[in-house]
Structures are given as C-alpha cells and as structure tokens.
C-alpha cells in the first residue's frame, strides 16, 4: 500500500512533469509558428499539448509545493550554451520526452489513462522531432538525418507513384529520390514533360515533409530548387558536383553514382555527401551496364569516408550477401515499387538492415 506521504510525492511529481512537458511543447510549437512558419507542425504540437492539458487534474495542482522542492531553481551550465534555435529545439524535445517517460512510469499506479497517453505522445514526438530537424533545413541537420538512413527508395515512373511512395514512407523509409529520366513515359504512355515532373516532384516533396523524410531529385537541379528539395543525385554524366554545389548552396545534399573506387574517391574529393555504389547486380533499371559485383562494395566499405548506398538489383533475398560485403545502407527501386505491399516490403528490408 502506498503511504499518504508517498502518494503526495507522486501527485507532486505528476504535476511537475505535466508542467514540464507542456512548457517544452509550447517552446517547440512557438518556434514552428514564428520561426518555421509551419502551420501543420503547429497544429500537431498544439494537439499533443492540449491532450496533456486535459489530463492535468486539479488534484495534481493542489499537491504542488514549490517552496518544498529541493531542485526548484536549479540550473545547469549547458542551458546558457543554447544560443541557436536548433539547440533550443533539441533540448526541449528531449525535455518533453523525459517528462513523458516519468509520467508513464509513475502514472501507472495513480492514473492509467495518463500513463497510456504519455506513452503515445512520447512515441509521436520521436517522429515529430525528426520532422522538426528536417524542417529547420540546415546542412548539418540534413547530413545528420542522412547518416541515420539505411534504406533509400529511388522511384521509377508509375501510375501509382504517389501511392507507392506514401506506403513506403509509412513503412519507415526516410530517404526518397525522384527519378524520371529523359524519355520516361507517364501513365498515358506519353513522354513525361517538365510540367509533369515538377508536379510529381512537388507532390512527393510534400509527402516526404509530412513523414520527416529527406527528398532528393535525380539530375535536375532546377526542379530540386523549385520544390525546395533537400538535394540532388548526380550521375557520372551529369553536371559536376562543384557546379551543383555553387547552384544549390552549402546546405543541400549532393549524391553521386559511382561504379569504381576511383569514382568514389573523386566524389569524396568533390565534397559529395554520399555515393551510390553499384550496380551490384544486373538490373533493368540500368540496361546495358555491367554489374560491379560485391568486390566494389567491399572496397567502398573499407575506404569510403562518406555514407554509401549499395544499389542494383538488391532485394530481401540477396540483401544478406550485400551486408556481408560491408554495406550498411542500400538503395532500391523494384524491391519496393513492384512489391504487392510496398509498406510491408519497406518494413521487411528495414528490419534486416537494422
């Protein structure tokens, strides 16, 4: 049985952490409102804050006793070092997550509904934090997200393009490249025009934003800039990375296809953020190109100073061999786009990669 003193302590603890979580959410919400101009993020954060407010019972507030709190007013030197908005966002997201965990643990015996809601909000905030980092848009944040990505979806023209990508995002994909090469045909069988490319890229960009995913455009720097993409992916025959960097600025990502270790070394020297390594296997996506096999994957694993994604005919059945060669990240096309259930296919690949 909990003693009256212990119950009073729990009530005070719940009150303090509800205050802490709600205050932290408000800090992040206001930056999304005034700093990012993102009404969608504001609405989601406000919803989380209001859900907690509805559970902040009067009896918790009645138990409050600030004068008797031994940690009241206690600060840490790290607080004075938060000079950038990104640092404030990160600190407050962490603060909210910690407070929610306390509510979850101590609420179980006192308020099961509060404990359950705190857990649900904590998990929702994990995904929202990634989207906040992405929305802040700095190069460091984009590169940090890139390092966390293990599965990279490269699209191909399809009547179900948006549905497939949305399913993949729901399955956990957090890096998407829009690829519609010259000569590609649309749903009507006619060559895809730049107007269609722009429309599709914009729609995919919005999808990726809602899921906190990075969005890149193949080849077309103009379209990448037009839709505010996170960067571009360049083939060996495309514009040189130095020129792409001049056009894109320092904060966007640049990827490069490579087929030999000499090209990887050059991509690193050119300041690329990541490289594709392949094609590992023969694939209809790259007709006529000889596969490089696993030897190049082993070379890349031993030498690459930047993230690399093995690519080319990779699917669940041969992924283990690619991983054994040293690849931690893979890029796929058909393994997701031609799957009966793209979300399930994405989850299965991620489970293997993680």
Confidence of residue 40 (pLDDT cuts 50, 70, 90): confident
Q: Mean pLDDT throughout 81-92?
A: 75
HSE value, Cβ hemisphere, 13 Å, CA-based, for 157: 16
- Which residue among 179, 197, 220, 252 is the active-site one? 179
Assess whether 286 carries a catalytic annotation: yes
Residue 45 structure tokens? 């954060």
The answer to whether residue 182 scores a pLDDT higher than 50 is: yes
Chain segment 139-165, per-residue pLDDT in tens: 878 888 899 999 999 999 999 999 999
Question: 74-113: b or e for each residue (b if 16 or more CB lie within 10 Å)?
Answer: eeeeeeeeeeeebebbbbbbebbbebbebbbebbeebbee
Residue 240 structure tokens? 């040189």
What's the pLDDT at 187?
Answer: 66
Lowest mean pLDDT, pick from 215-229, 260-274, 279-293, 336-350: 279-293
Assess whether 179 carries a catalytic annotation: yes
The answer to whether residue 72 scores a pLDDT higher than 60 is: no
Q: 253 and 263 in contact (C-beta within 8 Å)?
A: no
The answer to whether residue 79 scores a pLDDT higher than 70 is: no
Q: Which candidate, 46, 12, 141, 26, places its Cα nearest to that of 87?
A: 141
Contacts 24+ apart (CB under 8 A), 66-69: 69/12, 69/16
- Which residue among 257, 304, 329, 346 is the active-site one? 257
Report the topology of domain 140-353.
TIM Barrel (3.20.20)
CB neighbours (10 Å) of residue 72? 10
The answer to whether residue 200 scores a pLDDT higher than 70 is: yes
Chain segment 122-138, per-residue pLDDT in tens: 988 887 887 777 676 66
What's the pLDDT at 128?
Answer: 83
Which segment, 54-68, 115-129, 298-312, is predicted with the most confidence on average? 298-312
Burial (Cβ within 10 Å: 0-12, 13-18, ≥19) of residue 157: middle
Q: Mean pLDDT throughout 6-12?
A: 91
What's the pLDDT at 76?
Answer: 44
The answer to whether residue 60 scores a pLDDT higher than 50 is: yes
Confidence of residue 329 (pLDDT cuts 50, 70, 90): very high
Q: 104 and 118 in contact (C-beta within 8 Å)?
A: yes
- Which residue among 38, 64, 286, 298 is the active-site one? 286
The answer to whether residue 83 scores a pLDDT higher than 70 is: no
The interaxial angle of helices 139-148 and 112-136, nearest 10 deg, is: 120
Find all residues with CB under 8 Å of 121, minimum gap 6, and list them. Answer: 21, 48, 51, 52, 100
Q: What is the mean pLDDT of the chain?
A: 90
What's the pLDDT at 68?
Answer: 54
Assess whether 209 carries a catalytic annotation: no
Confidence of residue 66 (pLDDT cuts 50, 70, 90): low
Q: Which candidate, 328, 339, 344, 338, places its Cα nearest to that of 152?
A: 328
């Amino acid at each position: 049985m909990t003693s009256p003193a212990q119950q009073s302590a729990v009530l005070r603890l719940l009150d303090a952490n509800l205050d802490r979580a709600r205050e932290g959410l408000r800090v992040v919400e206001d930056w999304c409102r005034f700093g990012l101009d993102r009404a969608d993020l504001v609405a989601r954060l406000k919803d989380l804050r209001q859900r907690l407010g509805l559970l902040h019972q009067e009896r918790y507030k009645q138990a409050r006793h600030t004068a008797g709190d031994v940690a009241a007013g206690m600060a840490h030197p790290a607080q004075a070092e938060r000079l950038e908005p990104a640092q404030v966002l990160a600190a407050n997201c962490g603060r909210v997550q910690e407070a929610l965990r306390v509510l979850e643990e101590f609420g179980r015996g006192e308020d099961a509904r509060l404990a359950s809601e705190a857990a649900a909000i904590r998990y929702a905030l994990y995904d929202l934090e990634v989207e906040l980092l992405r929305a802040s848009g700095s190069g460091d944040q984009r590169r940090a997200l890139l390092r966390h990505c293990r599965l990279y979806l490269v699209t191909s023209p399809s009547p179900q393009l948006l549905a497939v990508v949305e399913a993949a995002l729901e399955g956990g994909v957090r890096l998407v490249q829009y690829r519609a090469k010259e000569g590609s045909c649309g749903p009507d069988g006619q060559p895809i025009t730049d107007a269609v490319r722009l429309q599709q890229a914009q729609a995919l960009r919005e999808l990726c934003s809602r899921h906190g995913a990075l969005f890149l455009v193949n080849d077309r720097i103009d379209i990448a800039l037009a839709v505010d993409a996170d960067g571009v992916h360049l083939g060996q025959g495309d514009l040189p990375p130095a020129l792409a960097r001049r056009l894109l600025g320092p904060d966007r990502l640049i990827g490069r296809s490579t087929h030999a270790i000499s090209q990887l070394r050059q991509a690193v020297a050119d300041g690329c953020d990541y490289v594709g390594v392949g094609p590992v296997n023969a694939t209809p996506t790259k007709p006529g190109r000889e596969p490089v096999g696993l030897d190049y994957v082993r070379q890349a694993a031993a030498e690459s100073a930047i993230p690399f994604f093995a690519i080319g005919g990779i699917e669940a059945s041969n992924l283990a061999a690619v991983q054994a060669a040293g690849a931690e990240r893979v890029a796929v096309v058909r393994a997701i786009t031609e799957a009966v259930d793209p979300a399930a296919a994405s989850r299965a690949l991620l489970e293997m990669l993680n």
